[in-house]
Structure 1
Amino acid sequence: MKTRLAESAVAAVDLSDCGVMYLHLGALTLRLAPSVLSELLATLGEAVAMHACQQAAGEEPLAWITRLQYGDS
């Protein structure tokens, strides 16, 4: 049996009796250990924060990779 923990217009998260978490994104469902889902959340949060900083600085997405490759500042 699964229990719905959260739901939005784009995603839902269920918890099974055995402790596996199910992340539903449209037709895609990922079965993840809670620690993996937590790490995914941290990674997505970091990406959103980086994108917001780049937008605030007027940079194109991933412009920092070019700077690292070519030593530009």
Structure 2
Amino acid sequence: MKQGRTRRSAPAVSMNKIFAEGILNGRVAFVTGGGTGITGGVARALAEAGANVALVSRSLEHLEPAAKAIN
């Protein structure tokens, strides 16, 4: 018999379900590493929820396209 933990996958969650539209109006969100990957998606969701998003990264080449996608 196999011992140890059994891996279970987490249910898929839409970012729209986490941040209701307009809930962050007038707020500022600083997103580090916001140019790519998961944090890029979080930055977009925060913007859609009404936040003013400031993206921070070590790479300008990743930030410019991410900023254009948010605006």
* TM-score (normalised: structure 2): 0.23
Specify which structure has the bigger relative contact order, considering alpha-carbon pairs within 8 angstroms and separated by 6 or more residues.
Answer: 2
Q: Between Structure 1 and Structure 2, which shows a larger proportion of strand residues?
A: 1
TM-score, normalised with respect to structure 1: 0.23
